[in-house]
A and B are shown apart, each in its own frame.
Chain A
Amino acid sequence: GQQLNQSPQSMFIQEGEDVSMNCTSSSIFNTWLWYKQDPGEGPVLLIALYKAGELTSNGRLTAQFGITRKDSFLNISASIPSDVGIYFCAGQVYTDKLIFGTGTRLQVFP
């Protein structure tokens, strides 16, 4: 099935560092979503973006909906150990079906 290109595939960072990851698509979406998934759990919604160019923050997280509507990025500032997990982007069109990215695995060292 279709999956979006997400990079980097994995990141190993020190606590306190900032993190940046992005997601690209060959097709246009009208909604971009970012999820975090912990082991053995379902994805949990972090940020939802509904408009091209939109920049939205949720605490230490900031995400942007690309102007071309084919990409999005997520930044995490001042990382902490509980940020560890897998981050997925997802694009959505009017059919409501979510197309997920391949995931970015984040590891934070104290």
Chain B
Amino acid sequence: DGGITQSPKYLFRKEGQNVTLSCEQNLNHDAMYWYRQDPGQGLRLIYYSQIVNDFQKGDIAEGYSVSREKKESFPLTVTSAQKNPTAFYLCASSENRDVNYGYTFGSGTRLTVV
């Protein structure tokens, strides 16, 4: 079945460490997105990519970095510059630039700083 796979499901990070969250899709979707979700704050867009080798900052990009070397993959690195990284991270993709089919979401990664 086609879908989006996020890994790991749970991730623990020590202070000062960089960690990378994986997002892979086999839907042949052009666009991919990363969201951060905190309790009571809905979804906040971190980065998005409409095509391979191109990506744009979202609303809260500081302390995060991404790459889009392959159409299927859009990894997110949470750097030590992100002061409050504990959150639920969601990856999504859309079939075309018109988003008339909406987004398909992965099952999320819960990151905790220890």
Q: Do A and B bind each other?
A: no
